[in-house]
C-alpha cells in the first residue's frame, strides 16, 4: 500500500498548523499509521492539493477542496477531537 500524503494547513502555515501537526504525529504513531506529513498555508493549497490524499485544516478552504478536507479546529479546542481523529484514521486506512 502506498504511504498516504497528508497536508496540514492554517492561515499562515505557522501557528495552529504546528499545534495540529504535533497532535497528528502522536496520533498516527499511536495507531501505527504510516503517513507522510507536510505543513503549509492555505494560500498554497490550490497549487498542491492534488498531491495529497488528505488535507487537515484549521481555516476555511475553497469549496473545490471540501471533499479532501477535515476540519481540525476540534484538535485545538479539544471539543470533538475524537471524531476528528476517527475521520483521519478512516481516510488514511481505507
What are 4-52's pLDDT values in tens digits? Answer: 999 999 999 899 999 999 999 999 999 999 999 999 999 988 889 999 9
10 belongs to the catalytic site: yes
**Cβ contact 57:72 at 8 Å:** yes
Percent pLDDT > 90 in the chain is 81
Maximum distance among all Cα pairs of the chain, rounded to whole angstroms: 33
The three cell numbers locating residue 52 = 495529497
- 4-93: which CATH number, 3.90.180.10, 3.40.50.2300, 1.20.950.20, 3.20.20.10? 3.40.50.2300
Q: What is this structure's pTM?
A: 0.93
pLDDT tens readout for residues 59-81: 999 888 889 999 999 999 999 99
Question: Among residues 10, 56, 69, 88, which one is catalytic?
Answer: 10
Q: Which pLDDT band, with edges at 50, 70 and 90, does 1 fall under?
A: low
Amino acid at each position: 500500500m502506498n504511504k498516504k500524503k497528508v497536508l496540514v494547513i492554517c492561515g499562515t502555515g505557522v501557528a495552529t498548523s504546528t499545534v495540529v501537526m504535533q497532535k497528528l504525529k502522536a496520533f498516527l504513531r499511536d495507531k501505527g499509521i504510516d503517513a507522510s506529513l507536510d505543513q503549509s498555508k492555505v494560500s498554497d493549497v490550490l497549487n498542491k492539493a492534488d498531491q495529497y490524499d488528505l488535507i487537515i485544516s484549521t481555516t476555511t478552504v475553497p469549496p473545490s477542496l471540501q471533499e479532501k478536507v477535515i476540519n481540525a479546529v476540534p484538535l485545538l479546542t479539544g471539543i470533538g477531537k475524537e471524531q476528528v481523529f476517527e475521520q483521519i484514521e478512516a481516510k488514511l486506512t481505507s
